[in-house]
Amino acid sequence: MKSNDATQLARLCAGRVGSLIDGKYRLDAFLGAGATGAVYRASNVWAARECAVKVFHHEGENCETALQRFVREAQTANRVRVGNKVHPNVVDCLDVGRDRDSGRYFTVQEFLRGDTLDAYLQSLPEHRMSAVEACALIRPVIDAAACAHEAGVVHRDLKPENIFLVEAEGGGRAVAKVLDFGTAQLSDARLTASTAILGTPAYMSPESFMNVRNGDARTDVWAFGVILYEMVSGVPPFGVGAQTLSAIMVEIASKDPVSLEANGMARAVEWAVIRRCLERDLSARYSDARALQVALDEAFTAA
């Protein structure tokens, strides 16, 4: 999106503040806009409850597919469950609908106070933490991904910007939640052509660039490897300084990550788990997030 278009869109979205969606969701503050939707801090005036509302605004090519993906994001997140409840480390989607006045589709989620993992890392000295801290922080998210995989859902866009650290009451440890299932792949549905590339390049697995239909739970395992590597070292293992998509793809396809054990940032058992996540050979990578979670637990038990 060009800067002028982005500015115009932001003004349009900000102009909706104060209005009601579907007669009950008051838009209280404009938080930001992406390619398909604008997000607002809102209030359910009927229930007197704070929430977040995302309003669909995509126009142009592939609008129908974008709309299906927008609505399906909420449906997908609600498939990631523990018992009869949405997994506690997945953002809870409360409602989906179409505004009776404007005709625009919208989704409603719980309102989260805190910041993204990306912003948190940027606030740290050298933008990094210990391997022990990183694994403890990310483990609940891995559990959420494991439940997603068991429900036939592959996220496909795991990255620090899509992990939100929710402020804990009383100043306790922040709770990490997974955001944005908009590019998720379901075992029983497909919306994307086989030639499409979805995700954020630096966190995408080699097979994601070659053929999106080959993506399975191991795609998310690769992303967890990249995220853990970045949390421990301060930089992702691939794509640092790369100026083009092709340059990032070449690195991911051919470059071996610098050992976190060799540079003293992780113990051998921790590095072994992260390194296995980043195996280009699918048969050598953990089969899914549950297998990764078990490996992490065993590594810390052994240590």
> pLDDT (tens digit, 9 = 90+) per residue, 29-48?
999 887 778 899 999 999 99
Residues 118 and 105 reside in one and the same domain: no
**Do 150 and 280 reside in the same domain of the chain?**
yes
Assess whether 72 and 136 both reside in one domain: no
Q: Binning pLDDT at 50, 70 and 90, where does residue 79 land?
A: confident
The pLDDT of residue 208 is 85
- Higher per-residue pLDDT: 137 or 242: 137
pLDDT band, very low/low/confident/very high, at 192 (cuts 50, 70, 90): very low
The predicted structure's pLDDT at residue 211: 62
Work out the pLDDT band at 193, boundaries 50, 70, 90: very low
Exposed, middle or buried: residue 208 (CB in 10 Å: 0-12, 13-18, 19+)?
buried
CATH of the domain at 257: 1.10.510.10
Q: Of 77-81, 98-102, 120-124, 277-281, which gets the smallest average pLDDT? A: 77-81
* Among candidate residues 62, 80, 109, the one where a domain is terminated: 109
Q: What is the residue type of 124?
A: L
Residue 195 has pLDDT above 50, yes or no: no
143 in active site: no
Q: What is the mean pLDDT of residues 103-115?
A: 93
Of 90, 109, 128, the domain-final residue: 109
End of a domain among 93, 109, 125? 109
Can you point out the beta strands (E) in the chain? 20-21, 25-33, 37-44, 49-56, 81-82, 85-86, 93-98, 105-109, 114-116, 153-154, 163-166, 175-178, 185-186
Domain with 11, as residue range(s), is: 3-109
Find the range with the poorest average confidence among 70-74, 227-231, 283-287.
70-74
Q: How far apart are CA 267 and CA 126, in angstroms?
A: 19
For residue 188, what pLDDT is reported?
Answer: 47
**Which of the following is catalytic: 5, 22, 157, 180?**
157
